Structures are given as structure tokens and as C-alpha cells.
Amino acid sequence: MAKTTNTLLEIRDLKKSFSITTGLFSKPLELKALQDISFSIREGETLGIVGESGCGKSTLGRCILQLIAPDEGQVLWLGQDLTRLPGEEMRRKRQDLQIIFQDPLASLNPRMTVGEIIADPLRTLRPELNREQRRARVIKIMESVGLLPEMINRYPHEFSGGQAQRIGIARALITEPKLIVCDEPVSALDVSIQAQILNLLADLKDEFGLTLIFISHNLSVVRHVSDRILVLYLGRIVELAAGDEIYEDPKHPYTRALLTAVPIPDPKLARQRNIDALRGEIPSPINQPSGCTFRTRCRYAKPICAEKRPALETIGNARLVACHRWQEIEVPEEAVLGA
């Protein structure tokens, strides 16, 4: 778990939209992917980011790393705004900021050997290292992620999905970064392999003193690795709290719905949890509902939810919730995953 209180990364009022063209002569439509996102991450912490597909999780991760330029807001890395850095200076920062992608095989160049793939960031970010030094680093990091050194000259197609993801993790670690964004790193893997990769990431975090942003649509996955959890819905934060608080006492109806979607083996408890099951489809981010964007799927919605967007309210010292009715809603203890 988090061991320090030093703020490593701070996001302030981040916004990102995309222009969508539906026809040759039609007016472009605005897709609001991220709206007014603000949070911070402490050194050594793992922040889980959860939400359904289309909620803006991956866009947020890429904006943090400046793989996508945000429209507004600040991304402060150790107090320095990454959005204002010139290209060459931002390139040097990438030694500290890395990413693990969702599809392990698709993220690896099939024409390069494992050794070349893992060493590739060093050629750009550590040009002072010679070939022998790069190879020594590659072998060391391969052993750290559970790959045999004799695999160094093999190609990606010779590996399973879990092994390919270990290669991706090794490539992210080779520059000795401070922060790694894990973008759905286990969603393409079998359940048994998922557990292995999650345990590996936890071990590597301790070994290398990493700070992680762990993106997933599955709260049961995020539960095992996160100190705090940020819940996104249609590009907005609806809840942010410590992991234990999210599971034992979820405040926002959307968080409760995501917990309900996590399977449990007891049929009786499963029926009791269905009280908060998600209803309908996620609205289009191009044409979002007025007021609270979750109201069209929320069983607790009242007229005020359509009239006014809920502010992100602070509860206690650090918990954030954006809901007009969170104080009025009572959920049976049996309906909560942590019960």
C-alpha cells in the first residue's frame, strides 16, 4: 500500500472533447470524453480508475501521459505542467512515465525479438548505454517479470497472452519509471492468468517503488491492487474514495451498480444485490442527459437530478461523491460486496 504522502501527480480541471463527423456535409458533433477531472496521486500509491466502456478511462490515462493533448486543464508532474512542455522536454519525461497496454500481442512489434522490444525505450531515452549495457538491463528485467533469459531472441508470436503481457510490463519497467499507467492490462487474459499478472504487478510495485494508475471496467480486479478508487461515468468523476470505503460503503448509485455486476457464488446474496443492478445502456457522450448524467439509469432519480448537475461533494477528509441523494439512500448490508 501507499507508503508516503508526497504528491507525485496532480490533475486539475482536465477536459477533452473529440470532433465527430457523421457525413460529408454534416456539421461536426462534439463528443465530450472528459469533463472537469481533478484528483491527485501520492508517491507509492495505486489509484484504480473504473467505469464502463466509453466512460473515458483510457482517454484519461493517455491525457496524463500526453499521448493525447487535453483541451483544458493541467497535468502537474512533481509540480511541473506537462501540457506546457515542448516536445523534446516531454520526451525526456517519458523515462519516468510509462504505460502497459490492454492487448499484449497487439502492442508488440511482430518483427522485433523480445530483446529488441524491451530494449527499444533505452535507445531513445538512454542513448548513453552501449549494446552490452542494454542487453544486461534487458536480461535483468526479464528475470524480474518471470521470463527466462534464453527467450531474448524469440518473437512475440511464440508467446502466450500472459507471457506477452510480461514482455509489455518489462518494456515499461526498463527505463526505471516512477509512474506506470496500466490500461486494462488483464482484461484480454484468462482468469487464472489475470491473477498471476496482478500478483506480479503488486510484487513489482514493491520491488521498484512504483506508483500505479490501474484502469479497469471490473471492480473485482481493481479491488486487489488499489489504495484508492476513482469511479468515472460519461467522462466525469462520480466517486473517489479509499478502496475499502468503496467496497464496504459505496455512496454513489453507479458505484453500487458496478459492485452488483461483480459475480458472487451465493445465489441468495446475488438476488439481494440486484436492487442496484445497472439498467439500460450508457447514453451517448455526444448527447448526454441534462443534470446528472446517470439519472436515466438510476432507480433513485428525482426531478432535481434532471434539473441540476450534482457537484462533487467532499465527505469527511478525502472522499468525493457527486450525487444529490447519496445521504437519503439506504442499501441493505447484504447488497454490498464487502459485506
Three-class DSSP category at 49:
strand
pLDDT of 263: 65
pLDDT of 51: 94
55 to each of 50, 262, 286, how far by Cα in Å?
9, 18, 12
pLDDT of 334: 45
Q: In whole angstroms, what separates CA 252 from the centre of its chain?
A: 19
Residue range 117-134: mean pLDDT, rounded: 93
Angle between helices 131-144 and 161-173 (to 10 degrees): 130
148-186 exposure pattern, b = at least 16 Cβ within 10 A, e = fewer = eeebbebebeebebbbbbbbbbbbbbbbebbbbbbbbbb
For 279-301, the pLDDT digits (tens) are 888 999 999 999 999 999 998 99
**Range 7-96+177-249 classified under CATH 3.40.50.300:** yes
Q: What is the dihedral of CA 254, 260, 263, 269, to 10 degrees?
A: 170
For 58-116, the pLDDT digits (tens) are 999 999 999 999 999 999 999 999 999 998 899 999 999 999 998 888 889 999 999 99
CB-based contact 50:220 (threshold 8 Å):
no
**Per-domain residue ranges for the chain?**
7-96+177-249
Q: State the amino acid at position 275 in one-letter form.
A: I
What's the N-to-C CA distance of the chain in angstroms?
Answer: 22
CB-based contact 239:317 (threshold 8 Å):
no
More confident position, 302 or 318: 302
Tell me the pTM: 0.90
Percentage of the chain with pLDDT > 90?
A: 72
CB-based contact 97:177 (threshold 8 Å):
yes
pLDDT of 143: 97
Residue range 315-333: mean pLDDT, rounded: 81
pLDDT of 265: 58
66 to each of 34, 153, 267, how far by Cα in Å?
14, 32, 45
| pLDDT at residue 276 greater than cutoff 90 | no
Up-side HSE of residue 192: CA atoms within 13 Å toward CB? 0
pLDDT of 339: 38
For 1-28, the pLDDT digits (tens) are 444 469 999 999 999 999 988 777 788 8
Q: What CA–CA distance (Å, rounded) separates 17 from 207? A: 38
Residue range 214-228: mean pLDDT, rounded: 90
What are the strands, taking DSSP E only, across 140-244? Answer: 179-183, 211-216, 228-233, 236-242
Query: In the structure, what pLDDT confidence band is assigned to residue 328 with cuts at 50, 70 and 90?
Result: confident
CB-based contact 172:147 (threshold 8 Å):
no
Q: In whole angstroms, what separates CA 58 from the centre of its chain?
A: 7
Task: Identify the CA nearest to 125 among candidates 97, 145, 149, 104.
Answer: 97
Angle between helices 191-208 and 161-173 (to 10 degrees): 20
Mean pLDDT for the chain?
89
| 321 backbone dihedrals φ, ψ, rounded to 5° | -140, 135
Three-class DSSP category at 50:
strand
CB-based contact 45:27 (threshold 8 Å):
no
pLDDT of 103: 87
